[in-house]
Amino acid sequence: MELNWPLLKKSTQANYEFSFSSYLIPQFGDRKIVELNTMEFQAFFNSLLGKLSPYTICNMHAALRAALTQAKTLDLIERNAAIGVKLPKKKPSKPNQLLSFPQIKAVIEHLPEPTNTIVTLIVFGSMRVGEALALRWNDILEDCIVIDERLYDGDLDDPKTLHGNREVPFDGLGVMKSAISRIWQEAKHRKPDDFVFATRSGTPTERRNVLRHLKATAKELEIPRSIDFRSFRTMHASLMRRSGARPEVARDNMGHSEIPMTLEGYSRTWWDERANAVSAVVNMVMNSDATDDSNQQHMEKGVRHMLFQTEPEECLSGAPCTKSGACSTCRIDCKLLILMVGERGFEPPTPWSRTRSKLLLKSVENW
């Protein structure tokens, strides 16, 4: 694991370090790695039930499994004993708080700077809070904001995912530009590499400081204090979907790699959307009439003909035949041939073409 440690993101390092130092090393630290087995791991994780949340247990198992996978890659063990351990189901997390339009506006208007501008960029620009805090003045272009860095636990790092490197367009009403302009007017650090949301010493503003502003404003406006920065990312995805924007647009703005993450992980619905949808369904059914029924039901209108008419084939007698030898003339010819040939095979007369012979044989077989 030590070989891969520098390649892990800071957030992953923090999670792994917590799992190993707090639980895994105290339990298995004096054992050789080749002695560990799945049964022991199962008993260990079972002992944590009721003490730790299912989410923490699953994260701890993920750290252990990653370490043993690396050990197997290095030929230190033959089998990853963490594979096969049954884990508790993660409890569904509470859905992110979805504020009404007036509430979103009120929060933005009541927040002090720089939290006001940061939340504005999250709601309308789909940024993660760490991405907003890591913005520099050279990231602010005429028509968009370039996201290529994030701040996590005081350390600068690459965006959360590869698709997190992106450009977010400004809105046509100038709301985002106006918010950033207010920061520029009050900024003491204006060099291209200086942080947009900088402290007096020029370092990036800490997340906990802006979160404190958000919680205080939520209490003042009497909205749920469970509101956080991810809630505003959820609002952005939900607003994009409600506006009629294509899922691909919301995905690219939010920096996701796949649409299901945007739609299922973030997008939510407002109550009025659901109520309006139910009303529309009731209206379609209860206000329908006979005309709707005739248009929706499949009505048989006699025999259907081909859209493109082909040239009719000739029956065995040489007359036009539209049913490939199944007309009355062909049936008469077939009856005569059956009587003439009987149970023996036959050789078609010379004047008959090979095609007619095949039609005749087919007619006899289907008779």
Alpha carbon distance 310, 364 (integer Å):
25
Interval 144-202: pLDDT, tens: 999 999 998 788 888 888 888 999 999 999 999 999 999 999 999 999 999 999 999 99
Q: Is the pTM of this model over 0.75?
A: no
What CATH number has the domain spanning 101-266? 1.10.443.10
* Residue 250 confidence (pLDDT) above 60: yes
Kindly list the distances between the CA atom of residue 337 and the CA atoms of 323, 325, 350, in Å, as whole numbers in the listed order: 19, 14, 15
Alpha carbon distance 202, 205 (integer Å):
9
Kindly list the distances between the CA atom of residue 200 and the CA atoms of 133, 139, 337, in Å, as whole numbers in the listed order: 15, 20, 108
Alpha carbon distance 81, 345 (integer Å):
73
Interval 231-242: pLDDT, tens: 999 999 999 999
Residue-by-residue DSSP string for 210-275: HHHHHHHHHHHHT--TT--HHHHHHHHHHHHHHTT--HHHHHHHHT-SSHHIIIIII----HHHHH
Residue 318 contacts residue 324 (beta carbons within 8 Å): no
Interval 211-216 mean pLDDT: 94
Amino acid identity of residue 209, one-letter, is N
Residues 6+ apart with CB under 8 A from 184: 137, 190
Listed residue (87, 89, 51, 81) closest to 64, CA to CA:
81
Alpha carbon distance 234, 203 (integer Å):
28
Listed residue (68, 87, 88, 77) closest to 34, CA to CA:
77
The three-state secondary structure class of 164 is helix
The three-state secondary structure class of 150 is strand
Q: Which residue has the higher pLDDT, 141 or 339?
A: 141
The chain-wide mean pLDDT, for the chain, equals: 83
Interval 42-58: pLDDT, tens: 999 999 998 898 889 99
* Residue 216 confidence (pLDDT) above 90: yes
Q: Where are the domains of the chain?
A: 5-73, 101-266, 313-366
Interval 17-37 mean pLDDT: 91
For the chain, the 3-state helix, strand and coil shares in percent, each to the nearest 5, are: 55, 5, 40
| Most trustworthy range by pLDDT among 28-32, 193-197, 224-228, 286-290 | 193-197
Amino acid identity of residue 93, one-letter, is S
Q: Can you list the pairs that 353-361 forms with residues at least 24 positions away whose Cβ atoms lie under 8 Å?
A: 356/314, 356/316, 359/313, 359/315, 359/316, 359/324, 359/325, 359/330, 360/316, 360/325, 360/330, 360/333, 360/334
Interval 100-155: pLDDT, tens: 999 999 999 999 999 999 999 999 999 999 999 999 999 999 999 999 999 987 88
